[in-house]
Structure 1
Amino acid sequence: MTPARRANLTRLLSPRHIAFVGGRDAEVAIGEAERRGFRGAIWAVNPRRDALGGHPCFRSLADLPEAPDAVFLAVPAPAAVEAVAELARMGAGGIVCYTAGFREAGATGAELERRLIEATGDMALIGPNCYGMINYLDGAALWPFAHGGTCPGWGAAIITQSGMLSSDITMAQRSLPLTHMISGGNQSVLTIEDFIDHLADHPAVRAIGVHIEGLRDVRSFEAACLKALDRGVPVVALKTGSSRIGARLTVSHTGSLSGADDLHNALFDRSGVIRVKNPSELLETLKFICVSGAPAGPRVAGFTCSGGGATMLADHAEIIGLDFPAFDAPAQAELAGMLPPIATVSNPLDYTTPIWGQPGITGPVFERAIALAKADAAVLVQDYPAAGLDESKVYYLNDAFAFCAAARRHGIPAAICATLPENLDAETRDMLIARAVAPMQGIDETLNAIAAAARWSAMRARLSADRPQPLLPAVPRNDVRMIEEAEGKQWLSALGLAVPEGRVVAGEAAPIAAAEVGFPVVLKMMGPRLAHKSEAGAVAVGLVDAAGVARAVADMRAAVAARDPAALTDRFLVEEMAERPVAELILSVRSDPQFGLALTLGSGGVLAELIGDSATLLLPATAFEVESALRGLKVAHLLGGYRGAKAVDIAGLAARIAGFAEAVAARADVLAEVEINPLFVYDKGGVAVDVLIHEWAAT
């Protein structure tokens, strides 16, 4: 974004005057600006109407008193292009182009969109085909439908690619403080990353929520999110839609293990972005962060006045890795002395109904338990009575305010959550926000939000100390060809990985070659149609003598001929048989046209697709990042020395994998994908038993 466009985006988001151009849609938008409390000048523009929304109409843009800071444009697409060009000449700040009929409408619309982009110049343009923007801080709205949402002077800025979702969020009954709402539409000029970059500088923006269907520029997105991270502004992403890696590499296993969704996860991890699963989790996570802040760690003190609530907290926390640390014996004794005899001292703590609503008793319990747990955050479960049945509400509030005070004295983020989302009324939500305690709706959503915020703190510390290197560029080529395994293993040796000793011979020479290599051996038929040899019957293992090798050659010829006669060849790879490993890994480096180079690693062999145990990192990746990914896999239990087996030097293994990925990246102009499955891992080394390599075809 150029400096001129950045300045114009500021004018668009915080305008002194707004021109509304169009008919009925523009008239509705005028009403929404007034609903939001806009105090600047409103100029209606329509050559065929005398007034819009009670405002006299200017016949043309040229008749306006001056170049408008902001324009809501709702005219047909061809006229919109002409209006944008005229506004650029006038020196307008920016435009919300509500008009549809551009790229989403086919080739003719795509050409109109190209002309629209060209006409925009240095102006800021949101859309086209979007709802627009609401600035809750300054009371400005360029929005074509009724909307809700409140702002206490700070809160979350939300950017969506879905107009309807943005509208739904403004209507949500969750008391999320909002600063901005932006519906980006086609993102022809301004994109998600532009808005993140701009809003991260705003002192009232405590977090940024983004709904992503697809990213235009992953490198700009990463830079914008890292800027927000540096400013202490968490970015929370709801990514919808997932797909697998491009069909050109479908013969590899990696495509089924790691597609576009995993690449987005890898991007979020290296950018310090929190990912959530659904809109409710998006709003609750933003609310917790904006109201309470991000905890320094994952230790939580939990309180309920019900054994059932305590169990639900503990159960979900265990699933997501949130820590409710147990009290040691002295702490248990101290708390037992403060609680009724029927209470069981645990964390989460059911403080029981005999002391319910008595802040002189519950307050000290809350405060002491938080201290004894060394908690980074605290949560109290309360489901409030419905209106008309709320004569006991005072007791709920007594405990709530005592809990708020205890959390404030310890200086930790805190939340009061309802088991059922609807059981926390608006009045109570507002009172809790005023006390900087997040009013959360749903136990799972609450704990997910706390865990996500704690992870963000850890990501920020990690990325501040070790900023990732810029992503490696994609290779802009499409056609690939498969390299046979024997040649592929020569590549692996050149790239620094050990491979079994072997040689390629005709079938009649295989027994002699096997004797020279040394029994036992593995026999494989080579051929361009034999990417997955086991499925074709083109591999035999554990051959212990020359006669066995000769029989295997004959059997293999018969099996391949029966399955696919065109795949039959007389070229065989004879290899020494590797010893039984501690574990088997799959290891892949491949090029993605949008994300660049990616490293995928996971459980290998027959488990590669069976259990889906994999992790993906975007390159370049450090040995520390690879080690963290390895330790997060299910196969890490084997690597650590399962049931008395030798433990693998995981740090050393990670360093070798990182070095291998770097070596492949250095040849990315030649290699499109290198997949090793399996990589036999030993306590002090590893051997690539099978490899599938695709190289870029000659142009």
Structure 2
Amino acid sequence: MSGTTDLSRLFEPRSIALVGASDRAGSIGGYALQNLAEHSTFTGDLYLINPRREAIGERRCWPSVAALPATPDVALIAVPASEVMAALHECADRGVAFAIVFTSGFGETGDEGKALEAEMRAIVARSGMRIYGPNCPGLTNVNRRLGLTFSPAFKLDLLAGPIGIATQGGGLGRCLLQSMQRGIGVGLWSSAGNEVDLEVSDFIDHMAGAGDVGVIATLLEGVRDGRKFLRAVRHAAAQRKPVVALKIGRSEYGRRAAQSHTASIAGSAEVNSAVLRQMGVVEVDDIDELIDTAALFARARPGPNEKVAVVCSSGGTAALSADMIGSAGLELATLSPATLAELAKHLPPFVSAANPLDTSGEILNKPEALDATLRAVAEDPAVGLVLYPIPLEYGPVTKGVAESIVRVQRETGTPIVAVWMSDRLGAGYDALVAGGLMPMRSVGKAVKAMSRWVWHGQWRARADAVPAPEPLWLLAGGGAALPDVSTEPLAKHWLATHGMAVPTHRVARTQDEAQAAARELGWPVVAKVVSAEVAHKSDAGGVAVGVRDAEELARVWERIHADVTAAVPHARIDGLLIEAMAPPGGVETLVGVHTDDSFGPVISVGLGGIHVEVLKDVSRRLLPITLDDARDMLRELRGFPILQGIRGRAPRDIEAIARTLVAVSDLVSAHRGAVAELEINPLWVGAVGQGVLALDALAIRAGDAP
């Protein structure tokens, strides 16, 4: 079930069986029949299954799927939960390719429902029939006008278009679908429900290969199969189809709600976001932003370095827009002399031709001037997209502005982002919708969508220039066997043999050996317990820093043994690690790898202390990473200026950190499947040219992790 499946017969079936067909008003079977028979343009065979009826209307009813004259491609299951399993067994025995289970009352209800879902998966395993759902509203193929759904809204939401929607829940999915009321059509919508078999990832993968889908919008409550998801979004990227995602479950409240809703596994919000960004998926924060951003991608694709122009007839609105654009990190385009000269021909003499452009109200009743000024800005070679906010509804005047935007958009490939700011919708708003411009409802929302659009253009350019390596989680087979890394000295030896710098150290099994090691290394020294059973040495009282002389070391020896024995009574102590102190003036960072349940090995880097523990200032990537990835990770840190050098401090050796990140990536990749966790904390960073030192190291074998 983890591979890909050809879903063409699911989205475009030749024959359909409706199990639980009904003409009872308000029933699931009744709505599903209406959608298929009255509101779809389906021309294949439609079989109605109802053992208590001979016919519904003029359509014959069959007592069972087994009694049908031919095997349907798709069976819609619209019976009570108590009858679902029998229906699925019957469909599987008949050889049905796909079963869509509308019915709820399974995994989302508790252990009994989860046991039934396990039985569903067993049906899939033995028969090869794929199951969609349960607890789902079904599937809508708007581009083929086919409703495999019981939603009474199907007949109302039929504007075809280039956006594919893949969700788990139905309510927000329908919300996305109904965004077509603003002028951009939706081609496909799949709502996977509890995902007992087919998942959102399967639908993303299908849409990536569908010729009538150009942009994929997805709403994720959880990722059940990380490998499948990675393959799906990589497929979409290879087909140059943007994926825009809203991930629910980023807070503890949201995670609990998502799990109770569809029995999904929400996963770590930080890892999810890092994975989406690395794969080029455009992550958004709200349903409005998901709609706006997907619609913008449906209209145009960004280049690698898009700049923005603002055109409107209100000076305050122009200034507000410029402020928001700057705050979002976008760049206003500098208009060319030719553009400025063209604008001067059509603007009143008191208007300053610049970006942002306030045309003033003087030209609002001059259609030719409206068109000419907007056209000149949109066609400027430095302009990648135009923001056109309309702050008020002003009857025929505003309608004329909207019609001008629509006319110019038909003439230019530069997207014009129209913003209808007033709560009073008028003829101008309707004109924008009719023109397919998907008017956004605030400058802030528009700027967010534009920021996502511009970011993806930059990501696309980098991905084209240097293709990303395949994620470690997708590679078959395992790597080299892992040596014994059960203690800090063994872990550091492993790191050192692969080119990573560690402090000079000795393992002392007696007090005399400890004293000799300290004299050899030079006072002061660090003393740390050596024990495979003590992973977090400081918590157990197993660390002493800055030990200055022999007397202090003797006391430290006794104290560490006593404290560790009290904290971890079962621990076997193999002695103390005596280590040279790091040079003064360094900056402490953290480098770690852990195995995420959904996506596999993830590498993290952050500044030590408060930056990681309180501010959560950490950058993450799936393994493996390149040197450019490592540099980008460091630049993403809010504390990056500290590494660059602030308040007169010398810049740190940033390249040495980046090389260490790559070395860790290469090391874990070489031992693929054998390393559960690896942490270098702290990684001491000196000034430029001084390099780095792994002051502490913890490695945990796969299988040994708690």
**Alignment TM-score > 0.5, same fold:** yes
Q: Does 1:130 align with 2:136?
A: yes
Shift in Å, 1:374: 0.8
Shift in Å, 1:658: 0.7
The one-letter amino acid of 1:145's match is S
Q: Does 1:323 align with 2:336?
A: no
| Structure-2 change in CA distance of 1:634 and 1:196 (3 Å) | same
Name which of 284, 301, 321 aligns with 1:276: 284
Shift in Å, 1:155: 2.4
Please list the CA deviations of residues 351-384 of structure 1 after superposition, one character each: whole Å capped at 9, or x if unmatched: 3333334333333333334455711111111145
Secondary structure in 1 matching 2:598: coil
Between stretches 617-626 and 79-88, larger displacement belongs to 79-88
User: 2:578 corresponds to which residue?
Assistant: 574
User: 1:488 corresponds to which residue?
Assistant: 491
Secondary structure in 2 matching 1:441: coil
TM (normalized to structure 2)? 0.83
Secondary structure in 1 matching 2:143: coil
Identity %: 31
User: 1:601 corresponds to which residue?
Assistant: 605
TM (normalized to structure 1)? 0.84
Shift in Å, 1:226: 2.0
| Structure-2 change in CA distance of 1:153 and 1:25 (3 Å) | closer
Secondary structure in 2 matching 1:492: helix
**Aligned residues of 1:30 and 1:53 also touching (Cα < 8 A):** no
User: 1:187 corresponds to which residue?
Assistant: 195
The one-letter amino acid of 1:235's match is V
**Aligned residues of 2:183 and 2:434 also touching (Cα < 8 A):** no
**Aligned residues of 1:512 and 1:546 also touching (Cα < 8 A):** no
| Structure-2 change in CA distance of 1:607 and 1:538 (3 Å) | farther
The one-letter amino acid of 1:418's match is W
The one-letter amino acid of 1:265's match is S
Partners in 1 of 2:572 and 2:3 — Cα distance? Answer: 63
Secondary structure in 1 matching 2:472: coil
Partners in 1 of 2:321 and 2:55 — Cα distance? Answer: 58
User: 1:417 corresponds to which residue?
Assistant: 419
Partners in 1 of 2:342 and 2:92 — Cα distance? Answer: 71
Please list the CA deviations of residues 531-588 of structure 1 after superposition, one character each: whole Å capped at 9, or x if unmatched: 5555666544445554555566677789879988998979443322212355332101
User: 1:161 corresponds to which residue?
Assistant: 168
Shift in Å, 1:115: 4.2
The one-letter amino acid of 1:130's match is C
Q: Does 1:46 align with 2:50?
A: yes
The one-letter amino acid of 1:147's match is A
The one-letter amino acid of 1:397's match is K
Name which of 289, 306, 317 aligns with 1:298: 306
Shift in Å, 1:191: 1.9
**Aligned residues of 1:292 and 1:437 also touching (Cα < 8 A):** no
**Aligned residues of 1:176 and 1:286 also touching (Cα < 8 A):** no
Secondary structure in 1 matching 2:195: coil
User: 2:249 corresponds to which residue?
Assistant: 241
Name which of 639, 643, 652 aligns with 1:635: 639
Matches within 5 A, 1:644-683: 644-648=648-652, 650-651=654-655, 653-668=657-672, 670-682=674-686, 683=688
| Structure-2 change in CA distance of 1:698 and 1:211 (3 Å) | closer
**Aligned residues of 1:134 and 1:141 also touching (Cα < 8 A):** yes
Partners in 1 of 2:696 and 2:639 — Cα distance? Answer: 19
Shift in Å, 1:589: 1.6
Name which of 400, 403, 420 aligns with 2:402: 400
List structure 1 segments (4+ residues) > 6 angstroms apart after TM superposition.
1-4, 328-334, 554-570
Secondary structure in 1 matching 2:681: strand
Matches within 5 A, 1:295-694: 296-325=304-333, 339-340=347-348, 343=351, 347-371=355-379, 374-383=382-391, 385=393, 392-407=394-409, 409-419=411-421, 422=423, 428=428, 431-432=431-432, 435=435, 437-473=437-473, 483-505=486-508, 506=510, 510=514, 512-526=516-530, 531-533=535-537, 538-546=542-550, 549=553, 571-581=575-585, 583-648=587-652, 650-651=654-655, 653-668=657-672, 670-682=674-686, 683-684=688-689, 685-694=691-700
**Aligned residues of 1:486 and 1:573 also touching (Cα < 8 A):** yes
Matches within 5 A, 1:47-196: 47-49=51-53, 51-52=55-56, 55-62=59-66, 64=68, 66-77=70-81, 79-90=83-94, 92-106=96-110, 108-119=112-123, 121-147=127-153, 150-172=157-179, 174-196=182-204
The one-letter amino acid of 1:208's match is I
Shift in Å, 1:161: 0.8
Between stretches 624-633 and 142-151, larger displacement belongs to 142-151
Partners in 2 of 1:5 and 1:656 — Cα distance? Answer: 40
| Structure-2 change in CA distance of 1:356 and 1:333 (3 Å) | same
| Structure-2 change in CA distance of 1:214 and 1:21 (3 Å) | same
| Structure-2 change in CA distance of 1:414 and 1:34 (3 Å) | farther
| Structure-2 change in CA distance of 1:560 and 1:229 (3 Å) | closer
Please list the CA deviations of residues 507-538 of structure 1 after superposition, one character each: whole Å capped at 9, or x if unmatched: 57655533321234334455567655556665
Listed as ranges, the gaps of 5+ residues in structure 2 are: 253-265, 479-483
CA RMSD of aligned residues (A): 3.9
**Aligned residues of 1:295 and 1:377 also touching (Cα < 8 A):** no
Secondary structure in 1 matching 2:684: strand
| Structure-2 change in CA distance of 1:640 and 1:372 (3 Å) | farther
**Aligned residues of 1:28 and 1:53 also touching (Cα < 8 A):** no
Please list the CA deviations of residues 42-92 of structure 1 after superposition, one character each: whole Å capped at 9, or x if unmatched: 443212235547755333335545433433211234643333344445554
Secondary structure in 2 matching 1:515: helix
Q: Does 1:220 align with 2:232?
A: no
Shift in Å, 1:158: 0.9
Between stretches 495-504 and 69-78, larger displacement belongs to 69-78
Please list the CA deviations of residues 150-176 of structure 1 after superposition, one character each: whole Å capped at 9, or x if unmatched: 455422111111122223334455444
The one-letter amino acid of 2:174's match is S
Listed as ranges, the gaps of 5+ residues in structure 1 are: 245-257, 386-391
